[in-house]
Structure 1
Amino acid sequence: MLLPPIHVNYVILVIIVLEIAVFFNQLLFFLARKHEKNRKYHMILTALLIIYNICENLFVLPDPLVPIPIMWQNILSESTGYFVTMYIPFYCYKTLELKVLRFHGRYGFLFLLIPIGFLFLIYYPLTNNLAFVLTYAYYPPAAYALWALISAYVAIRSKYKEDGDRENYRQRLWIFYVVTVWCISPALDEFLTIDKWVLGTMFNNVNFIALNSFFIIQSVRKFMNERDQLEELTVNLKQKVKERTIQLEKANEQRTNALVNLVHETKTPLTLIKNYLEEYINKYGYKEELGIVKNNIDKLNKDISNLFDLERYNKGFEIYNHNQIADFSKILKDNLALLKNYCRNKNITLRENIAEDVLIKADPGAINGIVINLTENAIKYTNEGGEINIELTTEGNRIFFSVSDNGIGITRELHERIFEPYYQINSEKGGFQGMGLGLPIVKKTVTDLLGIINIESNPKKDPGTKIKVTLQKHEKQESEEVAAPNYNVNNYAGLEISKLSISDSPYDEKKLTILVVEDNTTMVSYLFKKLSAKYNVTVAYNGTEALVKMRQYPALPDLIISDVMMDKMDGMKFAKIISEAPDYKHIPFIFLSAKPSSQDRAQGLRLGALDFIHKPFSSDELLLKISSVLENAAKQKRLLYDNALKALKTGGHLDFKQKDKDAEVANKFEQNCKTYQLTPREIDISKLISEGYSYKQIGDTLFIAERTVKKHVQNIFEKVSITNKVQLINKLES
């Protein structure tokens, strides 16, 4: 039954629609999985079959009403099937993965294209003899089909004998069967008297649908295999992650145990040193130097204790016994008695509001730690003339302890970060340096006591910070007793530094000048005492302040000694500015730092520093290093003066043309150095190389080690793309 007004059978129409749906389905899958080449070849076969079905069935009865000439309707109806046949050898070659069919896959279509093209596109238009064309158009394809099918079957059998893969063998035979049916369909059409649409449906489209079903089944199996492989990989990955996690946890536990053991072993000698020092002071009297030693030992002991407590917290150990009754009011008053002295030294007003007999079920040492850390931070970060308010109040069964100040404040984005271990706010410390462990321990202690700690601070609106701790109040029973103090209120080690006040030494034109840039006031005081007897000493607490001092002090420093880690402007940025400033780049520079990494040392030397001395250092060694650097600088100045005098004595009648020529060469030299992006230190070294200096002489002249000179020269050679000194001179002076 045909579908009016076109000559297409209902069954063929349904098949065409299904094939179009299959085509777009395969297209979507191919776009998602472009690595599946077989899907692409199958998609092309589907498209050719759709064209064949449409053309053969649409123009099976030429229609004069169709706006296509009758001749072309016949050509489209009778020849499109051959284009499917032309593609099949290539399709089999690719999908069957048989290398021996390479010839058929690449050139087989020519055995069909040449005779079919000649008969339908040349002979038929010239003779209009369609019957002759239809009769003889079958013979060349039939002969080639027989050859190709035999070759394919032999190849399939050979492949099976080679690899013995029965599953692939069955798949190849199935495709071979479908192709064979397609190839014999023209012969059936010639010798059997059945309708063309029946032949197309039964022998071609049904076989194609079977082939497509087979392909879909194979795709599903492939997807399932990939899913199984993915699941297996996921399980293996989870297992490997689990094993690696266990390894890392063990390694971390070993490191933690090693750290805890180290801290534990350190506390014993520190305790002995501290006690013997206190006995010595009590016996022979207090001296400022001994006070500084004692204060720093106390600070070190406190930092180590905090580190020890934090690691025990992290390992899940209980460091406090909270089955005690602590007098919060008494603990706070005991600490305030000492805190008032520190506040007076810093000219800070301390206001207090402390409720009486506030009891809490907690370890007195834990409450003392909360008080010490919060109040010490308030004093540290409050400027002179500031104000601190400490309150302890109750409401119902709750205790409110708050410490507020009008200091630098804490930005909102840092309210949570300050409770992270080892985190320090980047602000002017004024010499107060710690490990960033106090507040994390406070947070853990408050959490253990089922309390809450809040921060109220927004420096963009108002200065200052308020930290408020909320805890559970305890009502004492008659049978209960308040625990005796198990803490030391004299534990404000870091606050002693505020007593140190250091001014620049009076300028003496007979002495050389040294600029010390260091943010630890104790270290500044120590260096000042060591150096001020022999040199003029001017001090700064960061790079920004140092640049101001260099402009204000009566003379430029002959040497700069700088720390690396400082607020506002660190040592590296300060050294970079010095090395690039024409008025300052001649000043020798030495780094003092607690950062031990080779990267920091290399960076400092690249900026022109003469040396990078690690803390702790020997004062005698430092003094010898300073003396040597200044003596070498003096020798260089004398050499320059001597050369200038010689030039004056012998250059009274200078050749002005030669002088202009030398100036021109010098200008070219400077321009070329800038072109190759040489640093100021590299330019100085290049000039000395052009003057014939050896590496050792360059090191002595610039007060740097010979190995440092070699590193700079290597960098220069890489930038200029040369390999020796002669090439360097030629490139920079030409």
Structure 2
Amino acid sequence: MNIILIFLLLCYNITGGLLPDPNLPGSFFVQMAIAYATGFIVPCYFPFYVYKAFGLEKMKFHAFKGVFLFLLLPYILFVLTFAVTNDLNKAKDLLVLPVAYALWVIYTLGKAIRHKYHNTFHSYDSREEITVLLFSLTPWVGLPIIDFLNLGQAVEASVTNTGFLLLLGLHVKRHIRQLREEHQKLIDSEQRLMNWNTSLQKEVAKRTKELERINEQKTTTFVNLAHETKTPLTLINNYLEEYISKNGTSDEMNIIKRNMDKLSHDIINFFDLERFNKGMVVYNHDLVSNFSEILKDALILFREFGKKRKIEIHGKVEDDVYLKADPVAIIRVVNNLIENAIKFSNDDCIIEVVLQTQDDQVFFSVKDCGIGIPPEMHKKVFEPYYQIANLKRNTQGMGLGLPIVKKVVDDLNGEVKLESDPKMGPGTTITVALKKHVLAIGEEVLAINQSKKPLAPMPDVGIKENVYDATKPAILVVEDNTAMVNYLIKKLSECYNVFAALNGNDALKKIKTLPVLPDLIISDVMMDKVDGYTFVRILSNDPSYSHIPFIFLSAKSTRDDKLQGLRLGAIDFIQKPFSFQELAGKISSILAHAGKQKRAVLSSALNALAGPDNTRLRSTTDDFEKNCKLYHLTTREKDIAKLICEGYKYKEIGDTLFISERTVTKHVQNIFEKVDVSNKIELINRLEG
């Protein structure tokens, strides 16, 4: 806008100063038309300029309509009159209209200024701006008046240019003031932002400190709790060993002892890791250890243990390898690495353990025969409590073995290297590099006797299922801990046929090979390959299995976990640790309820088949029930007998009750023996007579 104003001002001064001039091209008419044109155009622009630049809302009509009607249109009439009459004075008579309009514009300008500044009229800045606007704009708007009165070019140029300079000065000052205000606002905003950032940083620091304090309290509470368990664990373990030495061992005692040792092992790992994290001294590395002897002793123990899964441990151990390290720390490294290798290896394979030196370095490596660890997880497995989901086993610990190894090795300024990639092939190799110690003459080597068993012994991996009994309901147990599976099989097999699988994937395969469909499924949630939630979701989508009642038995204990299990269709969600009496009561109740439902459906179907003659059917049914009780038929046998009486074939009975035809045949043989008959006709007469 300022550029346009300056351009118009230049045009006005040039044309007003030069024209008319006989030495310039163009006739007198053309030169005067151009000179008067600039004198009209500049006043036409000023209403628009003050409307936009100074926000004078009252000037809107003149900015967009008035100047065209009362300035440009009279100018066109002025030019036409001058062209026709060739008399400039007659043409000037037409300037009466622009002169009157100029007075109107000046009056409106005053009103516009008063309207804008009515609330700030008494301030110095406002009065200064009002005065300058009036003195600077009035001459320009009144140009037609000056031309009409023939006041001369000098007066016209002096008055208008003075007004322009005043207007320009006012606009520059106003612009500078706006810049200063915006700059101050920017400074204030920046200050507020800095204050906000400072407050935010303080709040974040305060919250972080609070969270650290809460976390420290939780950790301390957990450590104290774990510490308090060490004494009772020690007492229980000692009394248990004393009892075993006096009275001998048994399967139950072995399970208790094995799980006690595992719990003690996890507690020790937890304590060591927390002491490492707090910067406490855990081991005395001023001692000298014989790495070779420690590893040889460990291999003897672990080889015996690996035989249960047909795992061979091949050891290549260099003699007289010494380290400046606490022997207990070296034992922890050896036991954790070999124990992990056994845990995550497949059955019937070979684990390679190597100890060798090269220059001043000692290299200890363990290579397992498991599925391997993806490269993106190599760093994560050394983080505390991290566990690879697809490697979950029933011997899974707390995820502290490898972090303990890493802490010990770092404490000795050594290095741990992991090599594994399932895409390239199975197996994982973990190598520990430590600085070799040269034994000085007379230097003492601390002798540490290892326990006669590994720190966390591996449980038996076999599942001991009982022989199928067609007279008992069937239960499928899906649990990845073999000790828990065998416990449930032993306790439940007195009343039920108990089948077992170690994960959801195995269960999906096994359920298709069972002699009878399970009457109930009990499943863990956290399992390898296919977890419990996925397992029940797959079964619920299969019409052949969707009717089977389902119970979750899991260590997961949050409300969301339970709700998720129930939403998937489970009858109940029992949390570990649990009471077996409670579990047995729920199983009995669920199976009894399921039996009632089956009998109700069967009775409804039979009543529907009987049609109007249902009185006789009820009488027959009553006799049938009494006779079944008389001959001590089980619930399943009663259902089969009822279908035989209705003329169903063995295959149709199996389809109706979701059991195999072979199972139906075996039940029928038992029914014949109890009722003392040899064929269906005799059975029907005996039960319905």
Asked if TM exceeds 0.5, the reply is: yes
Residue 110 of structure 1, aligned match among 61, 64, 78: 61
Aligned to 1:432: 395
- Cα distance 1:123–1:201, how it changes in 2: closer, same or farther (>3 A)? closer
**Counterpart check, 1:257 vs 2:220:** yes
User: Shift of residue 359 of structure 1?
Assistant: 1.1
Decide which moves more: 533-542 or 605-614: 533-542
Decide which moves more: 250-259 or 239-248: 239-248
- Distance in 1 (CA, whole Å) between partners of 2:249 and 2:464 is 24
User: Shift of residue 259 of structure 1?
Assistant: 1.3
Residue 227 of structure 1, aligned match among 166, 170, 190: 190
- Distance in 2 (CA, whole Å) between partners of 1:251 and 1:632 is 48
User: Shift of residue 358 of structure 1?
Assistant: 1.1
Equivalenced residue count is 578
Aligned to 1:485: 448
Aligned to 2:48: 83
SS in 2 for 1:388: strand
- Distance in 1 (CA, whole Å) between partners of 2:69 and 2:391 is 93
Aligned to 2:276: 313
Residue 504 of structure 2, aligned match among 519, 537, 543: 543
TM-score, structure 2 length as denominator? 0.78
Aligned to 1:335: 298
Aligned to 2:108: 144
- Report if aligned partners of 2:129, 2:170 keep a CA contact under 8 Å in 1: no
User: Shift of residue 175 of structure 1?
Assistant: 5.0
Q: How does 1:387-426 map onto structure 2 within 5 Å?
A: 387-426=350-389
Deviations 1:356-393 (A, max 9, x none): 12111111111000001100011111112211111111
Deviations 1:286-310 (A, max 9, x none): 1110000010011111111111211
Q: How does 1:117-516 map onto structure 2 within 5 Å?
A: 117-126=68-77, 128=79, 131-157=95-121, 176=130, 179-186=133-140, 190=146, 192-195=155-158, 198-199=161-162, 201-485=164-448, 488=451, 490-495=453-458, 497=459, 499-516=460-477
User: Shift of residue 193 of structure 1?
Assistant: 3.7
SS in 2 for 1:569: coil
- Report if aligned partners of 1:335, 1:489 keep a CA contact under 8 Å in 2: no
Aligned to 2:537: 576
Opposite residue 4 of structure 2, the aligned amino acid is I
- Distance in 2 (CA, whole Å) between partners of 1:339 and 1:64 is 118
User: Shift of residue 576 of structure 1?
Assistant: 1.2
Deviations 1:489-524 (A, max 9, x none): 6333241x1x24115433322111111111111111
**Counterpart check, 1:558 vs 2:511:** no
- Report if aligned partners of 1:364, 1:487 keep a CA contact under 8 Å in 2: no
- Distance in 2 (CA, whole Å) between partners of 1:109 and 1:266 is 88
- Cα distance 1:114–1:352, how it changes in 2: closer, same or farther (>3 A)? closer
User: Shift of residue 220 of structure 1?
Assistant: 2.1
- Cα distance 1:389–1:143, how it changes in 2: closer, same or farther (>3 A)? same
- Distance in 2 (CA, whole Å) between partners of 1:234 and 1:332 is 57
Residue 485 of structure 2, aligned match among 511, 514, 524: 524
Deviations 1:322-370 (A, max 9, x none): 1211111111111111111012221112111111121111111110000
Opposite residue 633 of structure 1, the aligned amino acid is A
Decide which moves more: 332-341 or 308-317: 308-317
- Report if aligned partners of 1:430, 1:521 keep a CA contact under 8 Å in 2: no
User: Shift of residue 406 of structure 1?
Assistant: 2.4
Opposite residue 530 of structure 2, the aligned amino acid is M
Query: Any gaps of 5 or more consecutive residues in structure 1?
Result: 1-46, 93-104, 159-168, 654-734
- Distance in 1 (CA, whole Å) between partners of 2:43 and 2:406 is 88
Opposite residue 140 of structure 2, the aligned amino acid is P
- Report if aligned partners of 2:74, 2:98 keep a CA contact under 8 Å in 1: no
- Distance in 2 (CA, whole Å) between partners of 1:416 and 1:433 is 19
User: Shift of residue 64 of structure 1?
Assistant: 7.7
Decide which moves more: 343-352 or 426-435: 426-435
- Report if aligned partners of 2:299, 2:313 keep a CA contact under 8 Å in 1: no
- Report if aligned partners of 1:382, 1:408 keep a CA contact under 8 Å in 2: yes
Aligned to 2:637: none
- Distance in 2 (CA, whole Å) between partners of 1:647 and 1:72 is 109
- Cα distance 1:489–1:118, how it changes in 2: closer, same or farther (>3 A)? farther
Aligned to 1:626: 587
- Cα distance 1:82–1:152, how it changes in 2: closer, same or farther (>3 A)? closer
SS in 2 for 1:587: coil
- Distance in 2 (CA, whole Å) between partners of 1:619 and 1:389 is 42
Aligned to 2:572: 611
- Cα distance 1:295–1:72, how it changes in 2: closer, same or farther (>3 A)? farther
User: Shift of residue 183 of structure 1?
Assistant: 3.6
SS in 1 for 2:395: coil
Q: How does 1:575-594 map onto structure 2 within 5 Å?
A: 575-594=536-555
User: Shift of residue 178 of structure 1?
Assistant: 5.3
Decide which moves more: 633-642 or 53-62: 53-62
- Report if aligned partners of 2:301, 2:454 keep a CA contact under 8 Å in 1: no
- Report if aligned partners of 1:365, 1:487 keep a CA contact under 8 Å in 2: no
- Distance in 2 (CA, whole Å) between partners of 1:593 and 1:171 is 80
- Cα distance 1:562–1:134, how it changes in 2: closer, same or farther (>3 A)? same
User: Shift of residue 55 of structure 1?
Assistant: 3.8
User: Shift of residue 196 of structure 1?
Assistant: 7.5
Opposite residue 604 of structure 2, the aligned amino acid is N
- Distance in 2 (CA, whole Å) between partners of 1:297 and 1:357 is 35
- Distance in 1 (CA, whole Å) between partners of 2:330 and 2:389 is 28
Opposite residue 83 of structure 1, the aligned amino acid is F
Decide which moves more: 434-443 or 643-652: 643-652
SS in 2 for 1:211: helix
TM-score, structure 1 length as denominator? 0.74
Aligned to 1:650: 611
- Distance in 2 (CA, whole Å) between partners of 1:543 and 1:64 is 104
- Cα distance 1:420–1:181, how it changes in 2: closer, same or farther (>3 A)? farther
- Report if aligned partners of 1:181, 1:207 keep a CA contact under 8 Å in 2: no
- Distance in 2 (CA, whole Å) between partners of 1:171 and 1:285 is 107
- Distance in 2 (CA, whole Å) between partners of 1:618 and 1:531 is 13
Deviations 1:535-591 (A, max 9, x none): 111111111211111111111111010001111111111111222221111110000
- Distance in 1 (CA, whole Å) between partners of 2:465 and 2:238 is 35
Opposite residue 7 of structure 2, the aligned amino acid is I
User: Shift of residue 479 of structure 1?
Assistant: 4.5
SS in 2 for 1:623: helix
User: Shift of residue 487 of structure 1?
Assistant: 5.7
- Cα distance 1:85–1:582, how it changes in 2: closer, same or farther (>3 A)? same
SS in 2 for 1:523: helix
SS in 1 for 2:387: coil
- Distance in 1 (CA, whole Å) between partners of 2:566 and 2:5 is 79
Q: CA RMSD in A?
A: 2.7
- Cα distance 1:489–1:449, how it changes in 2: closer, same or farther (>3 A)? farther
